[in-house]
Amino acid sequence: MPSKYDLVCFDMDGTLTRTRSTWSWVHECLGTEDEEGYQLFINQKITEQEFMRMDIEVWKQAKPGICRKDLVKIFQGLPLIQGIQETIATLRDAGMRCVIISGGIDIAAEMIVNEFGFDGFAADSLAMDEEGRLTGEGVKVVDLQDKSIWVRKFIEKYGTTPERTVSIGNSFTDIPMFKTSGFSIAINADEYTEAEATVKIKTENIADILDLILFDKE
């Protein structure tokens, strides 16, 4: 039976990962924190760019010369939700493209994409020098105020429509994705985010979304 959808857009941090974010995972592995920056950002006291800069500066102080290889090693231990392999394989077998749209770190997103067979991703990056060392600047690729920009880009890339698109996320930054999709799933989300999604689900295995997508008859 032909699928009702062509494209599935996944948030990464807190949706595919079992941590608040890939940024916070680096802090956890380095034994650092930037709660001040986080609170300033969520309360709109600083920009996303400033928040990234604060995080990276803390890492550089904790591990001078921190480079891409260090981050790859850190993300090899990134805790992920169960069922990603089954979920992506099943959706792709049903003819759907699967992508990640995240304000998380692109190194982690790329590793997940390559391991589980996603079709593509958009995520923030870290500026590095010629030897792969972090310069201290973040590169904003995904605007957390409007992740729908990238939903539309992937819709265009894969020649589909908003009505034939699914978005999956866990926080308020995913709501613009929900509003640009014909079907949306709030997974392990707060009540505010759940209220904006088509359906909500609490689970430790993301494969539980498969029945919602494959058998959606609305």
**Residue 207 DSSP code:** G
pLDDT for residue 1: 54
**149 φ, ψ to 5°?**
-55, -45
User: Does residue 2 lie within any of the structural domains?
Assistant: no
User: Does residue 1 lie within any of the structural domains?
Assistant: no
Tell me: the pLDDT tens digits for 3-27?
899 999 999 999 999 999 999 999 9
Indicate which CATH number applies to the domain containing 198.
3.40.50.1000
pLDDT for residue 216: 67
Question: Rounded to an integer, what distance in angstroms lies between the CA atom of residue 154 and that of residue 96?
Answer: 12
Tell me: the pLDDT tens digits for 46-78?
988 999 999 999 999 999 999 999 999 999 999
Average pLDDT over residues 79-92: 98
Which residue range is the domain that position 30 belongs to?
A: 7-214
How many domains are there within the chain? 1
User: Does residue 197 lie within any of the structural domains?
Assistant: yes
Question: Is 163:182 a contact under the CB 8 Å cutoff?
Answer: yes
Q: Is 110 helix (H, G, I), strand (E, B) or coil?
A: helix
**How far, in Å, are 3, 68, 135, 147, 167 from residue 130 at the CA level?**
46, 11, 10, 30, 36
Tell me: the pLDDT tens digits for 119-169?
999 999 999 999 999 999 999 999 999 999 999 999 999 999 999 999 999
Question: Is 54:37 a contact under the CB 8 Å cutoff?
Answer: yes
User: Does residue 81 lie within any of the structural domains?
Assistant: yes
